Amino acid sequence: MIKRLLLLVFVLFALVLPAHNVLLVKKTGSAKRYIFKPGNYISLRTVEGKKVEGPINAIRADYLIVDFTNKIPVADIQIIYADRTLLKTLSAYTMAMSVVYTGLDLGNNNFNIENSS
């Protein structure tokens, strides 16, 4: 009875632990490692040249599923693009400030035209 209970506990631990549900990417020529888990956003290019972006839905030993529609074999992944958070933030900030500046400029021009006569 105790042996069966221990076996059941070990099987449950194997199902719960996420050790096999991780994609580890080592960058060539450096010590950097990137760990991707289900739910993380990934952007990659395959050997055929197809660019795939979206959340990772499942990771298996030989393939991963991205955005529920793309089943990609791990051997077919050529490049995984790095997420450039700072660049995205600065780009969004610049776009927002350009809209504000355009609005101020248009308002100022209308004000000057109305008060010039």
Q: What is 46-87 written as a DSSP string?
A: ETTS-EEEEEEEEE-SSEEEETTTEEEEGGGEEEEPPP-HHH
The whole-number average pLDDT for the span 38-46 is 91
Nearest partner of 34 among 92, 69, 67, 83, judged by Cα = 83
The whole-number average pLDDT for the span 15-34 is 73
117 pLDDT exceeds 80? no
- pLDDT confidence of residue 9: 76
- Cα separation of 29 and 10, whole Å? 38
**Residues 53-105 pLDDT 10s:** 999 999 888 899 999 999 999 899 998 887 778 888 899 899 999 999 999 99
- Cα separation of 109 and 2, whole Å? 85
pTM of the model: 0.57
- pLDDT confidence of residue 2: 81
